[in-house]
Amino acid sequence: MADSIFSKIIRGEIPCLKVYEDEKVFSFLDINPIAPGHTLVIPKEPAETLDQLSDESAAALGKILPLLCRAVMKATGTRQYNILQNNGKGAHQAVAHVHFHIIPKPNSTEGLGIQWPTRPLPQEQGQEILAKIRDAIAGTVI
């Protein structure tokens, strides 16, 4: 697995503004924030995308993420925010190490802007993809 810039940050080889650290999770301020308080939360495990992450790291991230959201919102005085988690270059992932963005949304100009090209789900298409997803879940050991 490639050694990303985030692994170097975890090891202290590259400086960062550290927000939090425990045995499995590390968090620091984004170097190019799109809103004040823009924070990254990453597993220490060097998985590239969320689907590749171990259950242990996923559990640790899931446990701490709400606490860090509360801290960032309290510190910025913001009540609204987005969690962004990109997987793959085509999905805007620039750093190949799993990371969650906590992005405060203080107003309409700062924070995350979203394009949401909705269209109604045709019944047949819904049933088809639903069956495939359920089959994939059934084939996975949980």
Active site amino acids: 99
Query: Is there binding between residue 32 and ligand AMP (CB under 6 A)?
Result: yes
Is 16 or 68 the residue whose CB approaches ligand AMP more closely? 16
By C-alpha distance, which of 53, 35, 40, 33 is closest to 10?
Answer: 40
Query: Is there binding between residue 87 and ligand AMP (CB under 6 A)?
Result: no
Give the number of other Cβ atoms within 10 Å of residue 106's Cβ: 16
Tokens in use for 41?
Answer: 């939360």
Q: What is the DSSP letter of 61?
A: H
* Integer Cα distance of 102 and 35 in angstroms: 10
Query: Is there binding between residue 30 and ligand AMP (CB under 6 A)?
Result: yes
Query: Helix, strand or coil for residue 26?
Result: strand
Query: Least CB distance from residue 31 to ligand AMP, whole Å?
Result: 3
Give the number of other Cβ atoms within 10 Å of residue 13's Cβ: 10
Is 65 or 95 the residue whose CB approaches ligand AMP more closely? 95
Query: Is there binding between residue 16 and ligand AMP (CB under 6 A)?
Result: yes
Q: How many residues bind ligand AMP (CB under 6 A)?
A: 13
Question: Which listed residue (86, 105, 106, 110) binds ligand AMP by CB under 6 A?
Answer: 86
User: Interface residues with ligand AMP (CB under 6 A)?
Assistant: 5, 14, 16, 28, 30-32, 40, 86, 92-95
